Structure 1
Amino acid sequence: MKTATLPKPLQSRLDAAASGYASGKGMPTVDFTAPAGEAALAAPDSVSWRVFKNPIALYIGGITAVLLELAEPRVRSGVWDHTSFRTDPLPRMQRTGLAAMMTVYGPRSAAEKMIAGVGRMHARVKGQTPAGVAYGASDPELLDWVQATASFGFMNAYHRFVRPLSQAERDRFYAEAAPAAKLYGATGAPGSEAELEAQFEAMRPKLERSEIVFEFLDIMKRTAALPGPLRLMQPVLMRAAIDILPGWTRDILGLDASYGLKPWQTWLVAMAGKASDRLVIKAAPPAQACVRMGLPPEYLYRHP
């Protein structure tokens, strides 16, 4: 499959948006092209490198992951009480996005340093839920849940709206996350789709509905998180994120069919997902990481 091309002005806008998103106010400047030849935590031929290059899948999967995280009361309290998401969501989203890019595409030495910093921040996050249950962001069970929900969201968004992945590819995706997950402290994160399903079942009794979920969705509606050309699609992409949640989690959260996709919207999201999978943004981490590894920037964007 050939890569896609855009008119030069639009391509320039997307390149600028990619550069700006990874270098927001207060964020470190990261050069994914250096040092030449230094491997990442995942390999260039991994399923992870293919999945994380797709901005549509990342946006959808990220929202799915947060919805699942907010269903767990200890994680929900940690996010809502100890981050700036409610008052200043965009920088928080940019930092989270950069962390994901570093984890997958960054040179190993820089990724390990960043993850160690995240671990130190997590160690300071402690408190109680409204029900009086104590929590700490370094609790292995909570770290495993956050890792599981992130992997589930990103993989299923790509699988549903970009390109179907085989069972072997889906299992590889979960297994590939293990090195980074262990560095984050998620030593019990799922290594296959079957392990993820078992973890979801184990956590099911601990999940609950909260009005914070609806507050989160309202914040996302009001936050211009995507570059101009894609911003108009945000409401539909949010519906896509809800649509790929397991049915039983939607029941728990109170997200009925009215929150999901209509058939024509499913088609629109799939068209956008497939198109963005062939669109090379040379200023973005996936293409830059390919260059670092001596590969053409189009390497990830050419597939059957």
Structure 2
Amino acid sequence: MTDWTTRSVAWASGGLLALNPADFLEPAGEPGIAAPNSMSWRVFGNPVSMAVGGVAAVLLELGEPRVRAGVWDHSSFRTDPAGRIRRTAYGAMLTVFAAESRFAAYASRVNAIHAAVAGAADDGRRYRASEPDLLRWVQTTAAFGFVEAYEQLVEPLGPGQRDQFCAEAAVGARYYGVTEPPETAASMRALIATSVPQLTPSPVLGEFLAIMRNAPILPSAVRRLQPALVRAALGLVGPEALAAMTLDGEAQWTAGERRWWRRLARVAEVVPRPGDPRRMARRRLSRPAVAGRPRS
């Protein structure tokens, strides 16, 4: 096994997430909101494309002034970026791979937090994090980032597969209080396109990119990949959105880097990973449910 492959396995082995196995192994036999043969299991199962897509999604989220204020003023991203990213990534894994009861409880806690977040954006508009259009934007950018990264790094998807992924993502979105989430690839891209003119530049975007490049976020064995991760994410966002946020001058991944990320993502598809939530979810589903046992 080559050195770069070894490092990729170290990254994919759960050092970033530190999963609690019970969240994915219990309750025995209980299904989640997505089935093992779902597109969500395929897309969320690759840690490399999820990392690239996740950074791209956050960039788009932070381009929206009200979302930007909610994230930057009411979370620990600046003081504890690794912890904030870990918790966000953990929530994504719970959405797809946890039993429905565990995920529903988690979503309820998140909704309670959002209900208490309010303030003013840098353009003067008041906001509440629970506003339907803001929740829809956060969910849509996440779905876009994850599926776009998967298509570019792992394998191309057909139109029906993209629509299936969006429909599955909409199911999870409703647990988070999102009304009218996009349920097709066309409606997802239409929402992105119509929202791009509302994105604005901000020093926060530069601060976020600097944190992602330099803060100790990834495990030490692969920390030097962080600047390349940022370039890859910028390459996913799209020229119109980058221009709206005045990030079009930022370096994006080169053709060589894109090929390297594809190799890394494809290794992650086949190399066994300790603490893989997809594997733990399969174990949960393979065990018989306990009759009369209350849901967690």
State whether TM-score is above 0.5: yes
Number of the residue aligned with 2:260: 268
CA distance change for structure 1 residues 190 and 20 in 2, over 3 Å: closer, same or farther? closer
1:164 matched residue in structure 2? 156
Cα distance in 2 between the residues matched to 1:177 and 1:241: 21
1:187 is matched with 179
**Farther off after superposition, 76-85 or 222-231:** 222-231
Q: How many Å separate the matches in 2 of 1:163 and 1:77?
A: 35
Partner residue of 2:44?
Answer: 52
Length-normalised TM-score, structure 2: 0.90
Instruction: Say if 2:16 and 2:218, in contact at 8 Å, map to a contact too.
Output: no
More divergent stretch after superposition (267-276 vs 250-259): 250-259
Can you list the C-alpha shifts for 1:209-263, whole angstroms capped at 9, x where unaligned?
1121111000111223223443332221211111011220011122226511112
Q: 1:204: Cα distance to partner?
A: 2.6
Contact 1:63 1:241 in 2 (8 A): yes
Verify the 8 A CA contact 1:239 1:261 in the aligned structure 2: yes
Deviation of the 1:55 alpha carbon: 1.0
In structure 1, what is the Cα distance between the partners aligned to 2:200 and 2:23? 41
Aligned match of 2:146: 154
How many angstroms apart in 2 are the aligned matches of 1:229 and 1:51?
25
285, 288, 297: which is aligned to 2:277?
Answer: 285
How far apart are the structure 2 equivalents of 1:147 and 1:111? 16
Query: In terms of mean alpha carbon deviation, does 174-183 or 223-232 score higher?
Result: 223-232
Unaligned runs of 5+ in 1: 296-304
- Displacement, 1:84? 0.7
Query: Which residue of structure 1 aligns with residue 128 of structure 2?
Result: 136
Kindly indicate whether the alpha-carbon contact (under 8 Å) linking 1:175 and 1:192 is maintained by their aligned counterparts in 2: yes
1:62 maps to 54
1:18 — aligned with what?
A: 14
What's the Cα RMSD here? 2.2
Separation in structure 2 between the aligned mates of residue 135 and residue 129 of structure 1, nearest angstrom: 7
Alignment check: 8 A CA contact 1:62 1:154 kept: yes
CA 1:86 to 1:19, structure 2 compared with 1: closer, same or farther past 3 Å? closer
Residue aligning to 2:291: none
Range that drifts further, 242-251 or 102-111: 242-251
Contact 1:74 1:129 in 2 (8 A): yes
TM-score by length of 1: 0.87
2:111 pairs with 1:115:
no
1:39 has 2:35 as partner: no
Residue 302 of structure 1: aligned partner: none
How many residues are matched? 284
Q: The residue matched to 2:102 in structure 1 has which SS?
A: helix
Give per-residue Cα distances to partners, 1:187-219, cap 9 Å, x unaligned: 121111110122123323321111211110001
Task: Identify which of 225, 235, 239 aligns with 2:227.
Answer: 235
| Counterparts in 2 of 1:237 and 1:196: CA distance versus 1, 3 Å | same
Identical amino acids, percent of aligned pairs: 39
Would the alpha carbon gap of residues 132 and 20 (structure 1) be closer, same or farther in structure 2, given more than 3 Å must change? closer
Equivalence for 1:83: 75
CA distance in 2, matches of 1:123, 1:30: 28
Cα distance between partner residues in 2 of 1:293 and 1:30: 13
Task: Give the AA of the match of 2:17.
Answer: Y
Higher mean Cα deviation, 192-201 or 115-124?
192-201
Give 2:242's match in structure 1, choosing from 247, 250, 269.
250
The one-letter code matched in structure 1 to 2:18 is: A
1:15–1:282 CA contact under 8 A, matched in 2: no
